[in-house]
Chain A
Amino acid sequence: MTVNIMTAKDVAKKVINKEELFILDVRNEDAFDEWKIEGDNFKHFNIPYFELLDGVEEIIGKIPSNKDVLVACAKEGSSEMIADMLSEEGLTVSYLQGGMKAWSEHLEPIKVGDLTDGGEIYQFVRIGKGCLSYMVISDGEAAIIDATRMTDIYLEFAESKAVKITNVFDTHLHADHISGGREIAEKTNATYWLPPKDATEVTFDYAALEGGNVVTIGNTAIDIYALYSPGHTSGSTSFVIDEKFLLSGDILFIDSIGRPDLAGMADDWVGDLRESLYTRYKELSEELVVLPAHFMIISELNDDGTVAVKLGALFAENHGLNIKDENEFRKLVTENLPPQPNAYQEIRETNMGKIRPEEEKQREMEIGPNRCAVR
């Protein structure tokens, strides 16, 4: 039987379309337990490739013949070997091109909505890691918010839309992924905005992003209002775009809220986090569509693959916005927190410009889920 190749994009389509897929994950158990390819109708079976070197007979019976089978490993080589072995036994299977590395890096640009006077806003869903970034397009210009380090994707997308990138923002200094914001700004001569309170140790020049700043994209006045909303970091800033969309960064997610501890200041910032969520956000229109910088679980994806819910609905349903007692809130966000994102200190230092790891090292630092939230 033939061995097929499935790309990260093919798998992303299956996630969004809620298709069935049987994933034979041949990484070692620790890696699998830590992070895997999630989909509503995906089934998993984990056995390390090195336990199958003498043959795959023992697992043949566990692999369904009536659905698509994907063999996945860290970088591709082992999954290709196992897929070949299964094929020799008469099964039709695919392996994941580029492995989990490619899965972690795949970005799916999905349109979120139209802006007044003809602009558009796109969400770039990094489906494997749960990171969300944005491009706002209006009248030949584009702004990018919370870009990942896969900068080519944004540059090519802007080119395909025939727009010039003029402004690049990071809502805060990220701890879970390496920002591509500075690199994009350098390549396009765009202005790179960072909240100064998160940028006290950075080694490069930036434009100070502060509450009340208004940046206009295009001539048709698509305004990006900066809203200072500390708590996840002391500089965390949200944006209201075109009076329609609230880019909430790592402060508010769909089914969770930001964690305040990734810069080591949980106790200091818990008050800020509460103030941002319970006072500043409360003053905003409930009709704003919340567009966060992360999702945690695949069920947060809408049917079209976007991650977007109205603020009013979140005030009604998000547990993190409904804790009346301040002490209980303090406990939730400072105690029993999930493990920190992989290599988060090194990632912060990279985003400050203090260290410049090679690309391979950057990939390794980012492996795993984002873990920026508490539920």
Chain B
Amino acid sequence: MEIAKLLDAKGLACPMPIVKTKKAMNDLEPGEILEIHATDKGAKSDLTAWAKSGGHELLKDSEENGVLMFWIKKG
């Protein structure tokens, strides 16, 4: 998987992970992939719903040592 950009949103509380994700996404071209790292537990459900409502595709998510990782393909 080719990552166009990595966004580090660790340590940020809601709503900042999504605010930053949205900004980062604006800089990408459709089809490009954004990788996001976050520690806010709410990020998972919110990013999933946000991606869906914005027409993006959440390709994968995982968790490692308390860090939530997401890969979203711009729609």
Chain A: minimal CB distance from B19 (Å): 6
Is B13 on the interface with A (CB-CB < 8 A)?
Answer: yes
CA A81 to CA B45, docked complex, whole Å? 19
Give every chain B residue within 8 A of A28 (Cβ-Cβ): 45-46, 49
Assess whether A48 is in contact with B53, with CB atoms less than 8 Å apart.
Answer: yes
CA A75 to CA B43, docked complex, whole Å? 12
Assess whether B22 is in contact with A50, with CB atoms less than 8 Å apart.
Answer: yes
Assess whether B14 is in contact with A48, with CB atoms less than 8 Å apart.
Answer: no
Give every chain B residue within 8 A of A77 (Cβ-Cβ): 13-16
Assess whether A53 is in contact with B22, with CB atoms less than 8 Å apart.
Answer: yes
Assess whether B14 is in contact with A53, with CB atoms less than 8 Å apart.
Answer: no
Given A29-B49, A48-B50, A53 and B42 contact (CB-CB distance below 8 Å)? no
Q: List residues of B whose CB falls within 8 A of some A CB.
A: 13-16, 18-19, 22, 41-42, 45-46, 49-50, 53
CA A31 to CA B44, docked complex, whole Å? 12
Is A257 on the interface with B (CB-CB < 8 A)?
Answer: no
Interface of A: prevailing SS: helix
Find the A residue at minimum CB distance from B18. A50
Is A373 on the interface with B (CB-CB < 8 A)?
Answer: no
Assess whether A48 is in contact with B13, with CB atoms less than 8 Å apart.
Answer: no
Is A317 on the interface with B (CB-CB < 8 A)?
Answer: no
Given contacts A78-B14, A360-B41, list 17 more A-B pairs with CB under 8 A: A28-B46, A30-B49, A48-B46, A50-B22, A50-B46, A50-B50, A51-B50, A51-B53, A53-B19, A53-B22, A73-B15, A75-B14, A77-B13, A77-B15, A77-B16, A78-B15, A364-B41
- A29, A51, A75, A81: which contacts B42 (Cβ < 8 A)? A75
Chain B: minimal CB distance from A55 (Å): 13
Chain A: minimal CB distance from B33 (Å): 19
Interface size class of chain A, counting residues whose CB lies under 8 Å from the partner chain: 10 to 19
Is A74 on the interface with B (CB-CB < 8 A)?
Answer: yes
**Can you report 22 residue pairs joining A to B where beta carbons are below 8 Å apart?**
A28-B49, A29-B49, A30-B49, A48-B50, A48-B53, A49-B18, A50-B15, A50-B18, A50-B49, A50-B53, A51-B53, A53-B15, A53-B19, A73-B14, A73-B15, A74-B14, A75-B14, A77-B13, A77-B14, A77-B15, A77-B16, A360-B41
Give every chain A residue within 8 A of B42 (Cβ-Cβ): 74-75
* Residues 114-154 of A at the B interface (beta carbon under 8 Å): none
> 0/1 per residue, A30-55, Cβ < 8 Å to B?
11000000000000000011110100
Find the A residue at minimum CB distance from B53. A51
CA A77 to CA B19, docked complex, whole Å? 12
CA A49 to CA B13, docked complex, whole Å? 14
CA A53 to CA B49, docked complex, whole Å? 14
Find the A residue at minimum CB distance from B13. A77
* Residues 56-73 of A at the B interface (beta carbon under 8 Å): 73
Chain A: minimal CB distance from B15 (Å): 4
Give every chain A residue within 8 A of B46 (Cβ-Cβ): 28, 48, 50
Chain A: minimal CB distance from B70 (Å): 14
Find the B residue at minimum CB distance from A52. B15
Give every chain A residue within 8 A of B15 (Cβ-Cβ): 49-50, 53, 73, 77-78, 81
Give every chain A residue within 8 A of B19 (Cβ-Cβ): 53
- A30, A49, A51, A53: which contacts B45 (Cβ < 8 A)? A30
Give every chain B residue within 8 A of A30 (Cβ-Cβ): 45, 49
CA A360 to CA B41, docked complex, whole Å? 10
CA A50 to CA B50, docked complex, whole Å? 6
Assess whether A53 is in contact with B16, with CB atoms less than 8 Å apart.
Answer: no
Give every chain B residue within 8 A of A360 (Cβ-Cβ): 41
